């Protein structure tokens, strides 16, 4: 749930999603759900020469399970807040 919240705070920011098939897509994060499925607008594939079939695609929905990495804009991530929230969530998980 914590990471879902992080992605929610990053909506309307530019992110780069790297998929497990090595396709990298940069775009504006429009929405995210609990499975970390991601909707991206105004997308651009990083290596267009290798993926010409993606050139016409302007927005997309990415199934969470095919994501390997998401590169985030570091200026919009409060690392101290993240660490505190992670500690709180891990303690709550132990009590359960």
Partner 1 sequence: MESTIQEPFDLIRLSLSERVFVKLRGDRELTGILHAYDGHMNLIMSDVEERIMLVEGIDVGPPGQGATVKVATRKMDMLFVRGDGVILVSPPSRT
Residue of 37, 40, 35 whose CA lies nearest to 11: 40
Q: Find the helix packing angle between 79-95 and 2-9, rounded to 10°.
A: 150
**Should residue 28 be labelled a site residue for partner 1 when binding is judged by CB under 8 A?**
no
Name the one range near partner 1 by CB under 8 A: 23-31, 41-49, 50-58, 86-94: 86-94
Alpha helix (H) ranges present in the chain? 2-9, 79-95
**Closest distance of CB 15 from partner 1, Å:** 9
As a whole number of angstroms, the distance between CA 62 and CA 40 comes to 8
Of 3, 28, 43, 60, the one binding partner 1 by CB under 8 A: 3
Contacts to partner 1 by CB under 8 A: 1-3, 6-7, 20, 36, 64-65, 67-74, 77, 79, 82-83, 85-87, 89-91, 93-94
């Amino acid at each position: 749930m914590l990471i879902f919240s992080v992605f929610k705070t990053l909506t309307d920011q530019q992110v780069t999603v790297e998929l497990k098939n090595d396709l990298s897509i940069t775009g504006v994060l429009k929405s995210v759900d609990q499975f970390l499925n991601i909707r991206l607008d105004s997308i651009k594939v990083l290596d267009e020469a290798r993926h010409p079939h993606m050139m016409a695609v302007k927005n997309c929905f990415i199934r969470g399970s095919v994501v390997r990495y998401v590169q985030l804009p570091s200026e919009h991530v409060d690392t101290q807040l993240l660490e505190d929230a992670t500690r709180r969530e891990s303690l709550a998980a132990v009590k359960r």
